[in-house]
Amino acid sequence: MQILTTLALFVVTAIAEIVGCYLPYLWLKKSAPVWVLLPAAISLALFAWLLSLHPSAAGRVYAAYGGVYVATALVWLRVVDGVDLTRTDWLGASVALMGMAIIASGWHSQ
């Protein structure tokens, strides 16, 4: 159950990071108004705060988070950018999520 809670928190964290990076991209490449940088900064601050909520050492949290970030970024690619995902996208996301689960499962034995 705790791994599912960790996974959910990581997904919210990944969305905060992606939004914080996507909005400046829109400003730089798609002529979005400059005010989008303010919610981008807020989103990146939220991202950093969310990462601090985990009970393990920061490096371990970042390593596990990376797997969830990969999967969330691919879902973003499909939903927001409208790009069809390939079998290798799904396979890579699965491997990354398995790595996250392995790392996170060891937190409770520390």
Q: How far is it, in rounded angstroms, from Cα 14 to Cα 80?
A: 14
Does residue 83 sit in helix, strand or coil? coil
Query: Hey, CA dihedral for 65, 67, 73, 79, is it positive or negative?
Result: negative
pLDDT of residue 98 exceeding 60, the answer is yes
How high is the pLDDT of residue 110?
55
How high is the pLDDT of residue 1?
61
**Domain residue spans in the chain?**
2-109
Each residue's pLDDT tens digit, 14-49: 999 999 999 999 999 999 999 999 999 999 999 999
Average pLDDT of the chain?
A: 91
How high is the pLDDT of residue 64?
86
Under the banding of pLDDT at 50, 70 and 90, the label for residue 2 is confident
Rounded percentage of the chain residues whose pLDDT exceeds 90: 68
- The DSSP annotation for 5-67 comes to HHHHHHHHHHHHHHHHHHHHHHHHHS---GGGHHHHHHHHHHHHHHHTTSSS-HHHHHHHHHH
Q: Kindly report the pTM of this predicted structure.
A: 0.86
